[in-house]
Amino acid sequence: MAAQHTSGLQALLVSSGFEGEVYAHEPMARHTSYHLGGPARFFVQVASLRALSALIEACRDEQEPWLVIGKGSNLLVADSGFEGVVITLGHDFKFCRFDEDALRFVAGAGLSLAHVVQDAFKRGVAGLEFAVGTPGTVGGAVRMNAGSRDEWIGSRVVSVTVYSPTQGLKRLAGSQIAWSYRETGFSDEEVILECELAVEASLPAYVRGRMEGVLARRKRTQPLQYPSCGSVFKNPPARSAGALIDGLGLKGLRHGGAMVSPLHANFIVNMGNARAADVYGLIRHVQTKVKEAYGIELQPEVKFLGFA
Ligand SMILES: Cc1cc2nc3c(=O)[nH]c(=O)nc-3n(C[C@H](O)[C@H](O)[C@H](O)COP(=O)(O)OP(=O)(O)OC[C@H]3O[C@@H](n4cnc5c(N)ncnc54)[C@H](O)[C@@H]3O)c2cc1C
């Protein structure tokens, strides 16, 4: 019988001791809020740190591209997919504890941010109201410094535990991390595993009122009935990306099945039949028009995967 040649990566993924779920040629459309994107060579949900580190090590040994994602709510994946390993954080990374004395949540990076926000709501503790309605995981929110223009998660972070294949486990104080508008100082090889978030004692009615206000505003101003990635572009200093795009009359502009939302010009939505290339083309078109009209280079907030 001819010898079977499997790589170390494949051997790891099929081994009975591997703590994770493995999907080959998995359509990324199943894992992004845009519902777009072709197959990842492997899509792996790791259940433990041991599985995560072994998987990253195998990828590095074979020079196989890899990345960790959360819920793909800020991600546009190419129609051709991604020739590499997409990793998500499963069982051991989906916990949430609350320390009543210190007024801190400790949350796993694979947990949805909504879970923590909901827990804060139930306990009537304040500080995370800005995050209500933001899709995605705790890890994705920390990596993106998610929030509004004026308030972001970094201002609540007491510490973050990260894993890096070259440095192992590290616990960083919030003050050691470079936080800015939708930017953080994490490198591409640092995987966020958990974080500690500070909140304040408050009155449940106050927390409820603020969250209801944020949700009502979202419903009023965002096209939530269509798949999207939220705001496509960062706001340039002292300007609103949405207002710049709206000022050019681009609301309602379509490329295939993608459209600049008539409700919010900084949202490009999937009308149901879009390809990732339609969204990508519209993003580039809007960037060009804004540059021509105002001389401003809009920076995408959305992350791209699999595009040349
Ligand atoms: C309807 C809608 C509304 C939105 N509203 C807001 C808003 O108000 N404010 C806002 O900031 N954003 C908003 N977003 C964008 C998005 O929800 C946030 O950026 C969110 O924090 C992304 O989390 P995620 O888990 O989906 O990350 P993903 O989209 O999966 O990943 C985003 C980036 O983070 C990296 N990443 C994810 N997890 C980890 C990890 N554990 N370790 C290291 N890197 C990681 C990924 O590699 C990628 O580069 C909105 C999106 C939608 C669809």
Q: Is 140 in the pocket of ligand 1 (CB under 6 A)?
A: yes
With 0-12 CB in 10 A as exposed, 13-18 as middle and 19+ as buried, what is 44? Answer: buried
pLDDT at 2: 44
Place of tokens 């408050």: 202
pLDDT at 200: 97
CA 228 to centroid of ligand 1, rounded, Å: 12
What residue spans define the domains of the chain?
8-91, 94-210, 222-305
**Are 8-91 and 222-305 equal in CATH topology?**
no
Q: Which of 73, 112, 228, 231 is catalytic?
A: 231
Architecture of domain 8-91: 2-Layer Sandwich (3.30)
List helix spans (H) across 74-200: 113-123, 138-144
Average pLDDT (156-167) is 97
Domain 94-210: top CATH class: alpha beta
Q: Is 114 in the pocket of ligand 1 (CB under 6 A)?
A: no
Q: Is 46 in the pocket of ligand 1 (CB under 6 A)?
A: no
- CATH number given to 222-305: 3.90.78.10
Q: Are 73 and 112 in contact (CB under 8 A)?
A: no
**How far is CA 246 from its chain centroid?**
26
Element (H, E) at 215: helix 204-221
Q: For residue 150, what pLDDT band results from cuts at 50, 70 and 90?
A: confident
Q: Confirm whether 210 is a catalytic residue.
A: no
Give the tens place of pLDDT for each residue, 72-96.
999 999 999 999 999 999 999 999 9
Q: Is 300 in the pocket of ligand 1 (CB under 6 A)?
A: no
Give the tens place of pLDDT for each residue, 42-51.
999 999 999 9
Q: What is the percent of the chain where pLDDT is above 90?
A: 97
Please give the model's pTM, rounded to 2 decimal places: 0.96
How far is the C-alpha of 240 from the C-alpha of 251, rounded, in Å? 15
Q: Could you give the angle at which helices 204-221 and 113-123 cross, rounded to 10 degrees?
A: 140
